[in-house]
A and B are shown apart, each in its own frame.
Chain A
Amino acid sequence: MSTLAPANTLTDRLTVFANQLAGDPLEAMRRSGAADFARLGLPHTELEDWKYTNFKGLQQLDALAPLPILDEAAIDLNKYRIAGIDAYELVFINGRFAGTLSSRFESEKRFISSLALARNLRTGLLLEHLGMYAQQQNEGLTALNTALAPDGFVIHLAKNEVCERPVVVYHISTGTKERGWVNQRNLVVAEAGSQLTLIEKYISDSPIFDNVVTEVVVGSNADVAHYKLQTRYGDAWHVGTTRVEQSRDSRYYNATISWSGELVRNNLQTRHNGTGCETHYFGLYLLDHDNLIDNHTLVDHAQPHCNSHELYKGIVGPAGKAVFNGKVMVRPDAQKTDAYQSNANILLADSGTINTKPELEIFADDVKCSHGATIGQLDLNELFYLKARGIGEEKARTILLTAFAGEVIEAIRIDALREDLLAQLMDELHRMQITF
């Protein structure tokens, strides 16, 4: 270690940031994040939770400043839009809210906007919820995010407010050749009986490091469908933590689709705080070069009569590395839990790696829990059957892989999004096939 510390380390930046906090309504939260980060630091592979997720060079990122602030007018959103979806759109460029590209909506019952704006417009909401759920005390990157994330999206639906149009959030990173930080902090509060569909689309043509924390509160009998798409993510690094709190009789549905990005780590955690909750996780990951996609999921069954259903599927090509870690916790009070988890993988090349780890911790005795994890190759009998009927090798493989991955895409509830992803999936799998 050099005795001359770089002038712009994360620690220095946190100090500078802390000096500007006076009068900020989020001051207490920021300071607690900074304190936790000072204790935890950045993650490394000696930590059990990061064992298979090696962000080589993460420690060197320490000195890097955040990305430049760009001219919003230079961004053409049409390139990224999903055809056929009439949505509220929130756009973030290099982590900053792009107001002129976004369709904010700020009424008493419905608030669809940014964190920077919510600081004044929804101060009470932020103080009640922001930073209350994400586990910053044991995760350095979450603590760092809590300490300094400048912006993000904030969605609030009041009681019984049904948001019929989906909200699409575009996280766009562009305009830089050096890897830089984006710390983004998001909050969703769907109060009792409300209904929300949220699509997050991560887009990058820069070597970004997105450190994203999203807290989602699903009120009693409320319904939240949440899509996270990492399909045009270039060489991005991403650590995204989504923490969901469900009240009684609520429904939370998540689909995470990842087939790009150089290092991607999705943490998805849900806790049931009342009876009758229902949770659905769907995930799909495709890797075809020297990249890593890691999904760490948790369903915390803390109350009786709740269901969770989890299906993750992956296809791994040469040199790709996939990680799945699915934890299901069934606490002593959570009788009559019905939990199902499945992780199925196809390995296309010997040089690919898959680490899959189902973790079931069950402390209640009257429950139904099952899990399955498989790693296999394309079924040669299926392949021969297709070929014998006149379908060539390459096409036959693409058909079988599309069918395998399609099970996840079919679970998408928005028709336009499902069709869009299915078409992209075929192209992507075809491309993966011909790179062999």
Chain B
Amino acid sequence: MLHINNLRASIDDKQILKGINLEVKPGEVHAIMGPNGSGKSTLSSVIAGREGYEVSGEVLFNGNDLLEMAPEVRAWEGIFLAFQYPVEIPGVSNTNFMRTCINEQRKYKGLPEMDASTFLRTMREKAELVELDPNLMKRSVNQGFSGGEKKRNEIFQLAMLEPKLAILDETDSGLDIDALRIVSNGVNKLRNKDNAFVVITHYQRLLDYIVPDFVHVLMNGQIVKSGTKELAYELEEKGYDWLKTELKATV
């Protein structure tokens, strides 16, 4: 589904990603862990299409060149980024925002607009999935939302848009244990054999709830180690310094 080959990205002449290779297949969950400043968020931004990066290498999504696509086309093709810091959009209600997103996607696929009653029913169902107060739907996107509500709103949007590949960028950061459980439950219910998740996190704790098939460690712009979920426990126990030392030893 996602094929990343020697991906490099720099911003203002500062090299951040230094040759990433990653293969994600349908039905898989990949966790990407790493210390601050290792390039985790840059990786998610580059896949979603944020401007401002100098990018080289290859990213194929279902065989198509992702780097050539505008961000909205990537979304229509089935890429979803759950933002680390969801953006507040004053004056645009959650409901109108979601309706526009869904109908733009349907237009791209040659489908007619979703009728109002189906839309409202779907919205109610998906909001329940992440236990999001239906009253928040009338309010401006993320404005005046608590940190937890913002993150749950991201997963709600994910549920509405049903992407093929979802990237969760530190969705667990700043969540208390109850909110973490709600968000994780939502994600687990959305998992199926046809979609895939890339979960970027700072904390191993999340992986107790969203169990990954693979764990990758990103350090200094490269994936330095890949393994199964046991790698996450090892990291939690020994810290990133252990890995740095081990890597030096192998050089």
Contact = CB atoms under 8 A, between A and B. Distances in A.
Interface stretch (A203-211, A303-311, A384-392): A384-392
B89 A391 contact: no
B91 A388 contact: no
Given A384-B50, A399-B92, A390 B70 contact: no
Contact of A393 (B72, B76, B87): B72
B123 to A, nearest CB: 15
B101 A391 contact: yes
A395 interface: yes
Interface in B74-90: 74-76, 81, 83, 86-90
Contact of A403 (B70, B87, B92): B92
A393 B86 CA distance: 19
Given A385-B83, A399-B100, A390 B89 contact: no
A87 interface: no
B72 A390 contact: yes
Interface in A372-427: 379-382, 384-393, 395-396, 399-400, 402-404, 406-407
A284 B71 CA distance: 32
A384 B71 contact: yes
Nearest to B48: A388
Interface in B86-142: 86-92, 97, 100-101, 104-105, 108, 140
Interface of A: 379-382, 384-393, 395-396, 399-400, 402-404, 406-407
Interface of B: 48-51, 70-72, 74-76, 81, 83, 86-92, 97, 100-101, 104-105, 108, 140, 157, 161
A391 B72 contact: yes
27 contacts: A381-B87, A382-B88, A384-B50, A384-B71, A384-B87, A385-B86, A385-B87, A385-B89, A386-B89, A387-B72, A388-B49, A390-B72, A390-B104, A390-B105, A392-B70, A392-B104, A395-B100, A395-B104, A396-B72, A399-B92, A402-B91, A403-B89, A403-B90, A403-B91, A403-B92, A404-B91, A407-B91
A56 B188 CA distance: 67
Contacts, number: 70
A390 B72 CA distance: 4
A227 B157 CA distance: 40
Contacts of A406: 91
Given A380-B51, A390-B75, 18 more contacts: A384-B71, A386-B89, A386-B97, A387-B49, A387-B71, A387-B72, A388-B49, A388-B50, A388-B71, A388-B72, A388-B83, A389-B97, A395-B104, A402-B91, A403-B89, A403-B90, A403-B140, A404-B90
Contact of A391 (B49, B86, B100, B140): B100
A35 to B, nearest CB: 50
Contacts of B76: 390
Nearest to B52: A380
Contacts of B97: 386, 389
Contacts of B83: 385, 388
Given A384-B50, A384-B71, A395-B100, A390 B161 contact: yes
B91 A392 contact: no
